[in-house]
Amino acid sequence: MRILAIGDIMGKPGRQALAHFLPSLRVEFAPDVVLINGENAAGGFGLTEKLYHQFIDQHEIDCITMGNHWHDKREFVRFAEQAERMVLPANMMNVNDPRKAVRVLRSKSGKNFAVMNVIGKTFMHADNLSPFLHLEKMLDLIPQHVKVRILDIHAEATSEKQGVAQHLVGRVSLVYGTHSHVPTADERILDGKTGFITDVGMTGPYDSVIGVRKEAAIRRLMTGEKKNFQPASNNRWLCAVVADIDEDTGCCTKIQRLRCEVPDRPDDGPEEKDD
């Protein structure tokens, strides 16, 4: 079973990169399952119902994972209750429910798989609960016969992502990090069982500071003032991993990192107001 897991979609540039590359990636890799992280998809902050449907219905994404920005669009919070193809970070205080963080789904090729989402504690919001404790409850929610188990660990600290992955070796098929918006080059298979990468990287504009317009980000770093915090426009990359999972054992047999760059056209002007 082949999984294509795509990192944080950042605003319109991220959505453009997804639309640009997904059709050809489907042809080249023939994934059974396509996952995206959607926490920044709407103007860099959160997700909307409209974009959720665009991803699920038009792009045929199998499941959307989220992160600390999941609730940024207030009107989305109510909709999230009924979004069957989305997982929220179980251990965020405003989620705190393993059932909202696990989805057992069936691919179009008729194969069962589970998707999970947790958030880190280190260098993150002080209220975040232990991902380790929540993961035990989440794994209990997955039927024994579902061997393909995938986790998006949305965390700042590389050490915490690696610690969670090493703790889960042999119990989860694929653990991939999101949130830093920077891809790491350490994709590997832990103990011959669990596919892992510390961070998949952002799908969005890299002529930026982690996706945000350079000028605004530099001003924030220099003065603390948060103004015009919007997605940048140029150097749009799609970052992802492709992982093969043995459906009988749940073990990862191959993991490959992808970085695809949209050719920027000279007339690509600044980002207009996003939705």
Nearer to Fe ion, 8 or 187 (CB): 8
Nearer to Fe ion, 67 or 98 (CB): 67
Stretch that binds Fe ion, among 1-9, 85-93, 99-107, 109-117 (CB under 5 A): 1-9
Catalytic residue check, 69: yes
Nearer to Fe ion, 46 or 67 (CB): 67
Question: Which 154-213 residues touch Fe ion, going by CB under 5 A?
Answer: 179
Nearer to Fe ion, 128 or 194 (CB): 128
Judged by CB under 5 A, the number of residues near Fe ion is: 5
Stretch that binds Fe ion, among 3-11, 82-90, 219-227, 235-243 (CB under 5 A): 3-11
Q: Give dist(CA 4, CA 258) in Å, integer.
A: 10
The answer to whether 63 touches 115, Cβ cutoff 8 Å, is yes
Question: Which 25-54 residues touch Fe ion, going by CB under 5 A?
Answer: 40
Q: Please give the single-letter amino acid code of residue 190.
A: L
State the minimum distance, in angstroms, from the CB of residue 3 to Fe ion.
20
Query: b/e for 73-109, b at 16 or more Cβ within 10 A?
Result: beebeeebeebebbbbbbbbeebbebebbbbeeebee
Q: Which residue in 69, 71, 134, 179 is the catalytic one?
A: 69
Q: Give dist(CA 32, CA 45) in Å, integer.
A: 29
Question: Which 62-81 residues touch Fe ion, going by CB under 5 A?
Answer: 67-68
Nearer to Fe ion, 203 or 233 (CB): 203
Q: Give dist(CA 195, CA 3) in Å, integer.
A: 11
State the minimum distance, in angstroms, from the CB of residue 189 to Fe ion.
25
CA angle 12, 196, 80 (to 5 degrees): 45
State the minimum distance, in angstroms, from the CB of residue 40 to Fe ion.
5
Tokens 């209990």 belong to 140
Q: Give dist(CA 10, CA 45) in Å, integer.
A: 8
Residue 8 sits in the site that holds Fe ion (CB under 5 A): yes
Nearest to 37 by CA among 26, 47, 27, 29: 47
State the minimum distance, in angstroms, from the CB of residue 55 to Fe ion.
15
> Which positions are annotated as active-site residues?
69
* Site for Fe ion, rule CB under 5 A: 8, 40, 67-68, 179
